Structure formats: C-alpha cells, structure tokens
Amino acid sequence: MSNYHFFHKKDLERILDECLNKTLGEVDSNNVFERTKIHPKITGIAGDVIEQSVLGYPPDTRQEPDLDVDGVKTELKTTGIKYKKNKTEFVAKEPMSITAVSPDVIVDETFDDSNFWHKLAHLLFVYYLYDSPTTVKAAGYADFPIKGYQFYEFNSEDTEILKNDWTIVRNFIRYLQDEFEDYEDEYPRISYELRPKLMYIDTAPKWPHKPRFRLKRTVVSSIIQNHFGETLEQLPKTYTSYSEIDETCHNLTEQYQGKSIQELIDLLDIKVKTVNKSIGEQIIVKMFGGTSKKMQGIKLFNKLGIMGKTLTLTERGLRKEDMKLFTIDFSEFTEDIEFEDSQTYDYFANNRLLCIIFQRPHADAKWNENIFLGFKMINFDDEFIENDVRNAWERIKDLIVNDKLEDVIVRTKDGQPRRNPSGNIMSAPNFPKSSEGNVFVRGTSSTSDVKPLTLNGIRMYNQQMWVKGLYIVEKLDEIDYI
C-alpha cells in the first residue's frame, strides 16, 4: 500500500476521537461539500468527507482494503445509522456494500484468498447519524453528527456463516459456467435463486447490472447495536444455516404439537398476566431456549431478520387478517434511488416470517385454549417482490417525488365526512390502499388526534407497510409445516 494509507492505530483513534459529536460539515476541512452545489444528488458524500477531510487521502476505487493500520490491511466503512422508534437505539441505514461479484474471478478463488474476505477480515466502521425522517440532498449530510467508530473483526461463528454464504455463490457460478454454453444469460439467477439460502449476505443489483456482495442490513444493525451497548440475548445453541433452524422447529413440533397455549405456558414456565396474540413470540423464544418476550431481542433472530408471527386456524381455515410488517422510512423515497436499493426491497428480500400456527378448538374458545400445530416459514418470492411490492413502492415514490401526495377526507357510505372520537374530521394520505393490491400502506398512532409525521407539508400518522391477509393465507396453504 502507498504510504498515505498507512496509519498507526493510536493515531487513527486520536483523529477519530476528535471528530465525535461533530457534524460532517464541521470536520470537512477540505471542503468536500462544495461539490454538492454542482451535484446536489451525489452519493457517498459522508465517506468522501471521512477519507478526504478527516484521514486526508484521495478517492480510492481499488478492490484492496483502504488502510494499512500498523501492517494490517483494514477496510474503512463510513456507515449511516438511524434511530429506532424508541429514539435511544440505532439501526443501520442500509445494507453494507462489500465488493463486486466478479464471476470470472470468483470461480478460481478460495474464501481465504478472495476479494470478498480481504474486504471483510478487518474493518474500521465510522458511524454518522442520519438524523432526518425524510430525504435530504447531499448538502444536508453536513448537518449529520459523527456518533462513533470501531475496529471490528467477525468471530469464528460469523466467519463460518460468511464462508458458507460466499461458497454458495461461488459454487453456483461454477455450476452455471459448467452447464450452460451461454452461461452469462443465466447470471440473473444468482440473485433470485440464491437469496433464500444466504444468511448474512445478498447480491444487488441484478444482472444485467453488475451486482455487488452486500452485508444484509440486519447484520450491520446487529454490529451497530452491540457497539452502542444494546444487549441482545444469545441462544444456548449455535446455528450456522437455515436448515439447522428448520430442524429445531421440526423437533419442537414433534415435542409440543397438540398442546394448548395454556399447557405450553405451564410447560415452558412463561410468566404472563394476560394471554393474547403476542404470546406466540414468547412461546417461540422459550422453545428455542431464550427468555426474551420478543424475537427481535434474540441475537440470532435479530441478525437474520426472522420475525415471529402468530396465526390461528378457525373452523373455516386461517383467519384472513391483514399483517402489519414495518414502519416506513420515507427518507428512502428520492428521485434517484432504485427499488433494489431501497429499505422496502431489503425488508421483503432479506427477512423471513416464522409463523407459529394454532388451531381454535371451537368457536367460543379463549386464546389459551388454542392448540399448537407447528411452524411455517414465509420467504417472499421474487415474483411477489417484483410485482406487488415494487408497484406499491413506486406508487409511494411517485406521490412523494412528484408532489402528488394529498390528504383525503375519510367518508361514510353516504358521503359524509367521518369523525374520530374527539369530533375531528378523519383524513388519510392517498397512499396505496388494501383495495388496490396485496401490499398497502396504513397509518397508526397512540391516539386519533396525534399526527407526528409531516411529509410534503401534510401531517399524518406514522405509516406502516402491510400485506393483505388473503395473500398470507394463500401463501401458507402452499407451504408445508417445517
């Protein structure tokens, strides 16, 4: 490496310590933000400031790690973080790009010698807080504070998972090249066929655009949360593949199938005052040997993006209840962002729904009488993402970017304005509705009069992405119990 990339670790720590809680604009000694006056939508401005103004070296696009830290090749990652809903904990703003997926190179690599691992073996994260609920242009990054940094190396368990993921990609590319004469025509399969098999990484965008390896947003969030002191529970057993998780679910079904929720509460020693739909997550966690009330409090489920959902079979089949998934981050809806780079795409592509299924024994049964049947895992397939999810996302983007967003009065069947319990006229933004597709938007708030979010000048509730219950039921009917 060139000398200007060499640093002693103690010098890097001193330099970065001096930047903490200062904004990117305040540390921009080389006026990197000047470029935003001519290029207001330039990307990567935060990383440019850290490289050029804080560490003092010019842009570098080589596949080698950025820095030489006391003889250790180290990759610098300037990483955006955002507040979680509680405003005290952080998540990653986006997945972390690693390096290009180069088919003609990867087929001759081993994991230890790969460009992929060279970029991940030793990392230096610099964290800045993207402190805005809506989109800002590049110049707005000057107001974002630097909140922390860390030197990071994956432990042996995580390294094994990364190795397994990378090997799946390499072997699949080898297979395509061996089996197909026009193998480049098959490369789009790399993204959509391998996605359900990869635990920590994905590849994006899709061919014919040249994809890059990325660490999933949930994995980056786990690293961030651990650094900033959020403690997640470690399960007693280690899992390095989805098949191992499926095997545990199958064994748990054999052990507990046919027992009522009350019997499971007693057997698993769950402390609960009121039994309702939320008990499903606690039961899953307890079955896996954990103590948290929420699956996202478990390190494994949090890092892999495995969400718990409780579903109940009635005498007529599964209840067709619409399913709320996540609160929308409107900062992703900008003119130049592509769907594949959005947090919405990332959620549907890289999260799984672990559904615990119960059977209601009779029409008047209470929750604690419902009978455990087993588990089903939902992966949102490529067709659903490319059609239903993309259509909803592009509709939202069009409304926001092209200033078509409206606050529409909610009316009764006879056309009169509806009023909330306080007497105020009810209204809602013209986002996609459940009557228009399988993926839609619906707002929620603590009270009907509280509208904490302002978007395009319109006050509204926080908005969530939902999936129509009929689709979920049809999807589950296609899936066997684990």
- Flag whether 236 is in a domain: no
Q: What was the pLDDT predicted at 87?
A: 73
pLDDT, mean over the chain: 92
Residue 232 in domain: no
Tokens 């000694």 belong to 29
Task: Render pLDDT for 443-465 as a digit per residue (tens, 0 to 9).
Answer: 987 777 788 889 999 999 999 99
Strand partners, 443: 463
Last residue of a domain, one of 379, 398, 416: 379
Task: State residue 4's pLDDT score.
Answer: 56
192 lies in some domain: yes
Q: Say if 295 falls within a structural domain.
A: yes
> Stretch 170-197: mean pLDDT, rounded?
94
* Residue 474 included in any domain: no
Last residue of a domain, one of 227, 258, 292: 227
Q: For the CA atoms of 114, 118, 119, 124, what is the dihedral angle to 10 degrees?
A: 170
Same domain, 249 and 310: yes
pLDDT score recorded for residue 476? 92
Same domain, 278 and 205: no
- The per-type count for the chain, helices as H runs and strands as E runs, is 16, 20
Write the pLDDT tens digit of every residue in 176-188: 999 999 999 999 9
Range of the domain at 365: 242-379
Question: What does pTM read for this prediction?
Answer: 0.87
Mean pLDDT in residue range 355-374: 93
Residue 126 tokens read as 């610099």
**Residue 61: predicted pLDDT:** 66
Total number of domains constituting the chain: 3
Q: Are residues 148 and 284 in the same domain?
A: no
Same domain? For 195 and 255 the reply is no
Same domain, 123 and 29: yes
Pair 169, 105 in one domain: yes
234 lies in some domain: no
Flag the least confident range among 64-68, 176-180, 283-287, 335-339.
335-339
The model's pLDDT over 313-359, given as tens digits with 9 standing for 90+, comes to: 887 777 778 999 999 988 888 877 889 888 899 999 999 999 999 99
- In a shared domain, residues 439 and 309: no
Asked if the model's pLDDT at residue 304 lies above 60, the reply is yes
Domain identity same for 253 and 339: yes
pLDDT at 205: 86
Backbone angles phi, psi at 256, to 5 degrees: -115, -5
Tell whether 190 and 281 lie within a shared domain: no
The pLDDT score that the predictor gives to residue 1 is 42
Spatial neighbors of 247 by CB under 8 A, at least 6 apart, are none
Q: Is residue 472 part of a domain?
A: no
Answer yes or no: are the C-beta atoms of 128 and 224 closer than 8 Å. Answer: no
Mean pLDDT across the stretch 165-185? 96
Average pLDDT over residues 130-144: 89
Mean pLDDT of 88-114: 94
Question: CATH code at 112?
Answer: 3.40.600.10
352 and 407 fall within a common domain: no
**What percent of the chain has a predicted confidence (pLDDT) above 90?**
74
Q: Which pLDDT score, from 0 to 100, does residue 423 have?
A: 76
Give residue-wise pLDDT tens across range 403-440.
Answer: 999 999 888 888 888 887 777 888 889 999 999 999 99
Looking at the fold, whether 32 and 120 belong to one and the same domain comes out as yes
**Pair (283, 366) in one structural domain:** yes
Q: What's the whole-number mean pLDDT along residues 100-116?
A: 96
Rounded-to-integer distance, Cα 353 and Cα 370, Å: 20
Tell whether 92 is covered by a domain.
yes
Torsion over CA: 4, 10, 12, 15 (sign): negative
Domain's final residue, options 346, 379, 412: 379
pLDDT at 363: 86
The pLDDT value given to residue 430: 95
